[in-house]
Chains A and B, each alone.
Chain A
Amino acid sequence: MKASAFTYHKPNSLEDALGLLQNEEDAKVLAGGQSLMPMLNMRFVQPETVIDVNGLDELARISVTDKLEIGALTRQKTLAKDPTIKQHLPIMQEALTWVGHFQTQSRGTIGGSLCHLDPAAELPMVALLYDAELQVASASGIRSIPMQEWALAYMMPSIGPDELLTKIMIKPWQGSHGYGFQEFARRHGDFAIAAAGCLIKIDNNIIEDIAISIGGVEDVPRRFTECEDVLRGMRYDIDDIKTHVREPLSQINYLDDSLVTGAYRRRLLKGLLIRAIEQAASRS
């Protein structure tokens, strides 16, 4: 349970960090360390070089223009208490109550959650709901990636070895709407066995718009567009909704492993999804 030897760098500027990422072979970025450190300790990863980005204060800021810009190095504990997040993105704070423990939130970062991309991670689910844009930088420039294209495969985000996630840009929904986030884990703070997030806009009892994200049930957290398409435009009636979500829920390729069966995940997700929709509707 000890990491293998590596060379440690702690750049003081983004430019230096990107230079290191470009020049060092086999480098890993260390931010909050709440995913990388376990992987190092267990030698799941044995990089030659670790680049500690904790000195890059410019990546730890939250600002608002027409959208919310969250620096990738913003700690989860900051997000959980920040008044700007509370005002514009309360679902993120609700989702954070499920993220690890307060001792891991004191170091864990939003960028780390997005780059580690655990199938059950809550923060990617929130970013998905809003079609967030992720800004990544490298020595050759900056590009931005829509959240729905971020996950390529199991724990594999769309980011190159010489790139660094710098910013998450989120456009909050306008007008009256509600949000809901539901999850089940064996222990408070453990990775979700299943989780569902929902944003809903209801006008005259008609579901004018809806966004749903699901986590823990497949290889990657994702938008549940098949279900959204079925529900959008429907009258808001929870019994009708329960009937209509059946088909899209049955199409999911549920993770099935020695600890949790796919059938159990399917049952859980159904209940959590309905609760998330009800919770969102009650707040709209």
Chain B
Amino acid sequence: MQEHEVQMQVNGKVVSGKVESRTHLGDFLRQSAGLTGTHLGCEHGVCGACTVIVDGDAVRSCLMLAVQADNCEVTTIEGIAEADGTLHPLQEAFRNNHALQCGFCTAGMITSLHAFLSENPNRSETEIREAISGNICRCTGYQGIVSAAMEAAEKLAKR
């Protein structure tokens, strides 16, 4: 069994560990870094629950090997709020708009929208719907999520 030493910045902190070649980033974050906010749903890139931000890009953490994230900067749902616990506008908006029920998809929704709105917060509803078309939610019917994303986008645009 081949193992690799990896080191990455996760939510601003250095995380290192030994991983097998086959371990994907999602499992590394959950099992080695103890960051269980990243949820693994389908593990073949369809559901979007495991989305994290790697070097500024939203990616499926189940479709990237942990060893490939060596020396990368990773942001997970745990790194979205400020250090003092102040919620990010997206998190606030999710709360205001009842944009989650069971919460399984929420981490992926927020990391996806975070990357999407960081690039440009001036987005139409259609663009937002397309952006989260790769994130499956089984509870909400998406209306609350879209409303939350619109509300957060407006706030972020004013920043």
A in complex with B: yes
Instruction: List chain A positions with a Cβ less than 8 A from chain B.
Output: 1-8, 10, 30, 33-34, 37-38, 40-42, 50, 52, 54, 77, 100-104, 106-107, 187-189
B20-48 contact mask (Cβ, 8 Å, vs A): 1 or 0: 11101001000000000000001111001
CB distance from A188 to the nearest CB of B (A): 4
Contact assessment for A5 and B43 in the assembled complex, using a CB-CB cutoff below 8 Å? no
In the complex, residue of chain A having the shortest beta-carbon distance to the beta carbon of B40: A1
Give complex CA distance A37, B40 in Å. Answer: 14
Check A38 against B1 for contact (C-beta < 8 Å): no
Query: With A106-B58, A106-B59 known to touch, is A37 a contact of B21 (CB < 8 Å)?
Result: no
Least CB distance, B73 to chain A, in whole angstroms:
14
The answer to whether A100 touches B134 (Cβ under 8 A) is yes
For this complex, 11 residue pairs linking A to B, each with C-beta atoms less than 8 Å apart, are A2-B22, A5-B2, A33-B68, A34-B45, A37-B24, A37-B45, A38-B43, A104-B63, A106-B59, A187-B133, A188-B129
Q: A1-B44, A41-B24, A104-B45 are in contact. Are A8 and B60 (CB under 8 A)?
A: no
B67 adjacent to chain A (CB < 8 Å): yes
Q: Give residues of chain B (100-132) contacting chain A, Cβ–Cβ below 8 Å.
A: 112, 115-116, 129-131
> C-beta contact mask, B37-77 vs A, less than 8 Å → 1, else 0?
00000111100100100000111101111011000000000
Contact of A33 among B1, B2, B63 (CB under 8 A): B63
> Do A37 and B134 form a contact, CB below 8 Å, given A8-B67, A103-B112, A106-B57?
no
B155 within 8 A of A: no
Cβ contact within 8 Å between B59 and A107: yes
Contacts A5-B22, A8-B67, A41-B44 given: A189-B62 contact, CB under 8 Å? no
A112 to chain B, nearest CB (A): 11
- Assess the A107–B63 pair: CB atoms within 8 A: yes
> B59 — which chain A residues lie within 8 A by C-beta?
103, 106-107
Q: Which residue of A lies closest to B54 (CB)?
A: A106
